[in-house]
């Protein structure tokens, strides 16, 4: 094996303190206060009465919108992937503007569930949904689709297998005259957010190019790299170049 890497499609939140929601603040206050038994009973009774009243008036339960920033700049490939999950594009505000230039687009499922892709000030995309599992489902589907498309262009064979915690894609390079060997690329796409990539059967630093190409294809960035002994072994022609 040459190199292992982890690729994340999510943008790191560098200012988490300013991203605290009202719900988080309520939880913070609740955990910092010690309620006695009578107060807890009163609070539970109040919540139950509120729930019954909302049900009687047919008022839907409030749902907090979750926002997840991505490293992608364009929504076009995301739209293609979510279509496979049953989402359909809703009419956009500016029909004459190309999809990739829209400031925000909304898609929905027949069940009524909606998601929104909007552009942040940085130009990168943000996914908005009512639950985090939907966001992970979308990002995983997009990562799988783009990884397969990219590897099919680069490799002779590509196999996809569904496992308990995600999908495993195994790609094998053909004999293209590479002096450092024919790479075997194993990509494990987990259910939550990360993709682990293992490049084996080659020597030298070409594994970096392979990982960089795959990372760019799925719209992510490496968050962790582990170089193995083969990484530091130069192919024969490179050794000759160095020592001649």
Residue 214 domain flag: yes
User: What pLDDT shows up at residue 205?
Assistant: 81
Residue 23 located in a structural domain:
no
Mention every residue, 6+ apart, whose C-beta is less than 8 A from residue 4.
Answer: 196, 197, 198, 199, 225, 226, 228
Residue 110: predicted pLDDT: 92
Contact between 172 and 155 under an 8 Å Cβ cutoff? The reply is: yes
Q: What is the pLDDT of residues 83-102, one digit of tens each?
A: 999 999 998 888 888 877 78
Task: Supply the pLDDT for residue 92.
Answer: 84
Residue 186 lies in a domain: yes
- Write out pLDDT tens, residues 29-83: 454 455 556 666 766 776 677 666 656 655 555 557 888 899 998 888 999 999 9
* pLDDT of 235 above 60: no
Question: Does residue 98 fall inside a structural domain?
Answer: no
The region of weakest confidence among 23-27, 85-89, 108-112 is 23-27
Convert 201-231 into a string of H (helix), E (strand) and C (coil): CCCCCHHHHHHHHHHHHHCCEEEEEEECHHH
Total residues found in the chain within this entry: 244
Distance CA(70)–CA(79), nearest Å, equals: 14
CA atoms within 13 A on the CB side of 180: 21
- Answer whether residue 93 is part of any domain: no
Q: What confidence score (pLDDT) does residue 20 get?
A: 42
CATH number at residue 207: 3.30.310
Give residue 75's region: left, alpha or beta (phi > 0; psi -120 to 50): alpha
pLDDT, tens digit, for every residue of 145-172?
999 999 999 899 999 999 988 899 999 9
Checking if the pLDDT of 104 tops 80, the result is yes
Total domains in the fold of the chain: 1
The pLDDT of residue 113 is above 60: yes
User: Is 69 inside any structural domain?
Assistant: no
Q: Which two tokens stand for residue 227?
A: 């170089």
pLDDT digit string, tens, across residues 175-216: 765 677 889 999 999 876 678 999 988 887 888 899 999 999
Residue 15 confidence (pLDDT): 40
For residue 82, give the nearest of 160, 131, 146, 158 by alpha carbon.
146
Higher pLDDT, residue 34 or 173: 173
The b-or-e profile of 149-176 (16+ CB within 10 A means b, else e) is ebbeebbeebeeeeeeebbebbbbbeee
- Rg, Å, the chain Cα set: 24
More confident residue, 20 or 122: 122
Residue 74 located in a structural domain: no
| pLDDT for res 239 | 45
Report if residue 233 sits inside a domain. Answer: yes
Q: Is the pLDDT of residue 120 over 80?
A: yes
Domain encompassing residue 171: 3-11+146-243
């Amino acid at each position: 094996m040459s190199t292992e890497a982890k690729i994340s499609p999510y943008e790191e939140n560098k200012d988490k303190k300013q991203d605290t929601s009202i719900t988080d603040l309520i939880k913070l206050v609740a955990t910092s206060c010690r309620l006695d038994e009578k107060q807890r009973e009163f609070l539970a009774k109040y919540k139950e009465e509120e729930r019954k009243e909302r049900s009687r008036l047919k008022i839907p339960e409030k749902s907090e919108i979750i926002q997840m920033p991505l490293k992608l700049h364009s929504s076009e490939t995301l739209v293609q992937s979510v279509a496979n999950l049953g989402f359909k594009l809703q009419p956009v505000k500016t029909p004459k503007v190309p999809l990739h230039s829209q400031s925000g687009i909304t898609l929905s499922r027949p069940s009524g569930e909606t998601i929104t892709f909007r552009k942040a000030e940085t130009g990168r995309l943000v996914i908005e949904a009512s639950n985090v599992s939907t966001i992970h489902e979308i990002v995983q589907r997009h990562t799988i689709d783009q990884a397969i498309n990219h590897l099919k262009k680069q490799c002779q064979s590509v196999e996809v297998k569904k496992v308990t915690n995600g999908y495993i894609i195994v790609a094998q390079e053909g004999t293209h005259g590479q002096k450092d060997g024919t790479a075997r690329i194993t990509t494990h796409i987990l259910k939550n957010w990360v993709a682990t990539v293992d490049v084996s059967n080659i020597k030298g630093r070409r594994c970096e190019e392979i990982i960089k190409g795959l990372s760019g294809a799925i719209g992510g960035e490496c968050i962790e790299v582990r170089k193995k002994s083969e990484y530091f072994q130069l192919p024969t022609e490179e050794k000759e170049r160095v020592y001649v």
